[in-house]
Amino acid sequence: MPEIELDLRKYCIETAAKRLYNRLLSEYFRNKGEDAETEEKLLLLQKALRQFDFPALRTARRELAGKSSARITLTDNRGSMPGICIDGSPVDILSTGPN
C-alpha cells in the first residue's frame, strides 16, 4: 500500500500534492513508464486531487493550510477515499465532505 509524505512547510496540501504529482509524472515519463512504485504514487495523488475537499481540509486542520512542520502523509485505502495522517494520527476526512 503506497504512502506519500507531503512537505507543507511552504505550500498547502493541495499545492503540495499538485507539485508532487507533476514532478512524479515527469520522472515517470523520463523513465519510459517503467516504475511501478511511481505509478502507484501517481494514482494515489490523482485520486486525492479528485476526491478531497481541499478548502474544507485547510479550514478543519491548520496543519494542512501550509507553513507547517507536521509530518503529513497520504495513504491508499484501497477502493475508498485516500487517507491523511498528521504526525501519524489519521484525520477524519469524511467529516469535511467530498468535493
Question: Quick one: average pLDDT of 29-46?
Answer: 89
For the chain, the average pLDDT equals: 90
Number of domains in the chain: 1
Q: What spatial distance separates the first Cα and last Cα of the chain, rounded to whole Å?
A: 24
Q: What is the pLDDT of residues 42-87, one digit of tens each?
A: 999 999 999 999 999 999 999 999 999 999 999 998 778 899 999 9
Output the pLDDT for position 98.
Answer: 45
Residue 99 has pLDDT above 50, yes or no: no
Output the pLDDT for position 2.
Answer: 81
Output the pLDDT for position 80.
Answer: 81
Output the pLDDT for position 43.
Answer: 94
What is the torsional sign of CA 4, 24, 79, 83? positive
Residue at grid coordinates 504514487: 41
pTM: predicted TM-score of the whole model, two decimal places: 0.88
Q: Which domain holds residue 78?
A: 3-95
What is the torsional sign of CA 10, 13, 14, 20? positive
